[in-house]
Amino acid sequence: MRMHQATCLMVGLSLAGGLTAQNLTQQNVERAQTIISNAVEAYGGAERLNAMNSLIIRNETTAIASGQSRNPGPPFDRNTNAGLDAIDFENSIFVNQARGNGGGFEFDNATIINGEQSYQLNFRAGSAAPIAQPDFNTSSGPFIRVTPALLVKQLQARAQTAHYLGDADVDGNSHEVVAFSMEVGPAISLYFDKQTHMLNKSERVFPGFGLIEYRFYDYTTIEGIPFNGRFDLFVNGDSNLERKTTGTQVNVDISSLTELPSNLNQVAAIEPDPLSLQELADGVYLVGGTGTYAMFIEMDDYVIAVGGTAGIPDRISELRNVLPDKPIRYGVLTHHHNDHILGVPVYAGEGATVIASSAHAEVVRNNAGDGNELKLETVEQRKVLEDGSRRVEIIDIGPTAHSEHLLVTYLPEEGILFEADHFAMPAAGPVPPAVSSTRSFAEAVARLNLRVSTFVSAHSPKPGTPEDLQTALSKPVAAASNR
């Protein structure tokens, strides 16, 4: 009898718990839908948002290079550029144009996503490269994420993925927070003011990278829809970008922006870049894909890994197909920029010693799982690793236009030099004109009398030669850049 009563009690508690969870879930869904409905009305109503098929927004941007400055600490470099974004939802067309400079780079580029007529344009090089596999959602996602009216339009369309997170204070005002999943990328959390129902803040978290926060200000109503006049972007709490809108056009024809300029030369198509391994010399491997690469050097009893960009675990796994047993003893970092230190905890997990510039030691430790336990060796000017089979020189060639200190890895016998962010060969097409970082890199190689036959980059699958470098240095900027 007592057992029967206990069983009934447990079943009752289980049912009550289930009902509570069910009610909580239902309340969460209903609350999210209410918030979405209020936001849709605040942004002009469902009819206007649905009818907003095309949009052009011109902007001026200041990038505060908190994780990309020439030096690790403040004051951080400030770089400016101007551009536009244009979207046509009905025809899945997206156009981005950007012109400016920063970090040792001068750029004047455009991306056109328009089905089979998709191109990557480089006006400085005077080239147009077809995009073999264009992706409208991936390409337009960054624009949508910084345009509240478009975020609300997409939130309305994808309301079934939304859920209520809770209330939060933003600048002294109470906000309701809803999260939803876009077509591509991590979920995004939207902060709507309880009184105005306007979107004032959004957030996303990238594993291994951190918190990306967007703040929206200065709304102006255009064609019945509120558009923010500016937004700020923060990375892990640090100010990273400030953008001001200089012009907004709603439901206009954007086809003229998709026309290929006649003064550009069409070059080879941009193909997908899957993970791959290539042997540069006996026991020297370049491994990577999707624009990030690491070099692995086989020594007698161990391996030296060079480069710390995204995807290091996958690159190590690919290496294990040819070197299954030798441990990685050293992981060499080129410089302190946040996209080049992602490999620190991975190398630490391998039991490797991380090698970095002395000037970057603090940044490296801060990005390790446990900075106090990290095995770290620093380089002032040059460090040599060698055994009976090979000599490896790690050299600080700084200062350059990109970083005050920059480590390259040089194999004098093989004539191979690995660098980052200074001389990346295009995967297809001709060598473009040199930018400031390329020129300072070439000057450093000449000054140090490094006899290089093969240049390898952290951002290209294609090695370069001294002839390629000379071509870049001597090539004039195309007239198309003066458009």
What local confidence, expressed as pLDDT, does residue 14 receive?
A: 45
Report the percent of the chain where pLDDT is more than 90: 86
85 and 219 housed in the same domain: yes
262 and 365 housed in the same domain: no
216 and 300 housed in the same domain: no
As given in the structure block, the two tokens for residue 112 are 């056109």
As given in the structure block, the two tokens for residue 468 are 């390629």
297 and 184 housed in the same domain: no
Q: Which of 112, 81, 82 is nearest to 94 (CA)?
A: 112
Last residue of a domain, one of 237, 266, 295: 266
Q: Decide if 124 is inside a domain.
A: yes
470 and 364 housed in the same domain: yes
415 and 283 housed in the same domain: yes
Q: Label residue 481 by pLDDT band (50, 70, 90).
A: low
262 and 403 housed in the same domain: no
Residue 60 and residue 81: Cα distance in Å, rounded? 6
Say if residue 479's pLDDT is above 80. Answer: no
Least trusted range by pLDDT, from 273-277, 355-359, 424-428, 446-450:
424-428
Q: Where are the beta strands (DSSP E) in 141-223?
A: 163-170, 173-180, 188-193, 199-206, 210-222
Last residue of a domain, one of 208, 240, 266: 266
Tens-place pLDDT, residues 102-150 = 999 999 999 999 999 999 999 999 999 999 999 999 999 999 999 999 9
Is the link from the previous residue into 75 a cis peptide, with omega within 30 of 0?
Answer: yes
Q: Decide if 110 is inside a domain.
A: yes
Q: Label residue 1 by pLDDT band (50, 70, 90).
A: very low
382 within 8 A of 392, measured Cβ to Cβ: no
Residue 29 and residue 137: Cα distance in Å, rounded? 26
Q: 5 or 67: whose pLDDT is higher?
A: 67
Number of domains composing the chain: 2
Rounded to whole angstroms, what are the CA distances from 433 to 5, 125, 272, 292, 316?
A: 83, 6, 24, 21, 33
Please state, as a whole number, how many other Cβ atoms lie within 10 Å of the Cβ of residue 142: 14
Q: Label residue 23 by pLDDT band (50, 70, 90).
A: confident
Last residue of a domain, one of 266, 286, 311: 266
- Residue 279 class from Cβ within 10 Å (0-12 exposed, 13-18 middle, 19+ buried)? exposed
Say if residue 341's pLDDT is above 50. Answer: yes
Global pTM reads: 0.89
Q: Decide if 14 is inside a domain.
A: no
Q: Label residue 428 by pLDDT band (50, 70, 90).
A: confident
Residue 31 and residue 4: Cα distance in Å, rounded? 40
153 and 104 housed in the same domain: yes
- SS3 state of residue 285: strand
128 and 259 housed in the same domain: yes
Say if residue 232's pLDDT is above 60. Answer: yes
Q: Label residue 12 by pLDDT band (50, 70, 90).
A: very low
Residue 44 CA to chain centroid, in angstroms?
A: 32
What local confidence, expressed as pLDDT, does residue 26 receive?
A: 83
Tens-place pLDDT, residues 286-322 = 999 999 999 999 999 999 999 999 999 999 999 999 9
166 and 300 housed in the same domain: no
Residue 155 and residue 161: Cα distance in Å, rounded? 9
Q: Decide if 307 is inside a domain.
A: yes
Q: Decide if 68 is inside a domain.
A: yes
**Averaged over 420-448, what is the pLDDT?**
95
Tens-place pLDDT, residues 365-407 = 999 988 789 999 999 999 999 998 899 999 999 999 999 999 9
Q: Where are the beta strands (DSSP E) in 390-429?
A: 391-396, 407-411, 416-419
Q: Label residue 20 by pLDDT band (50, 70, 90).
A: low
The CATH number of the domain where 202 resides is what?
A: 2.50.20.10
Residue 208 and residue 182: Cα distance in Å, rounded? 20
Mean pLDDT, the chain, integer: 93
Q: Using DSSP bridges, classify how beta strands 119-122 and 127-130 pair: parallel, antiparallel or unpaired.
A: antiparallel
Q: Decide if 22 is inside a domain.
A: no
153 and 216 housed in the same domain: yes
Query: What residues make up the domain containing 338?
Result: 276-482
Range list of H helices, 83-187: 136-145, 148-157
Q: Where are the beta strands (DSSP E) in 89-136?
A: 93-102, 105-113, 119-122, 127-130
Least trusted range by pLDDT, from 50-54, 165-169, 317-321, 365-369:
365-369
228 and 289 housed in the same domain: no
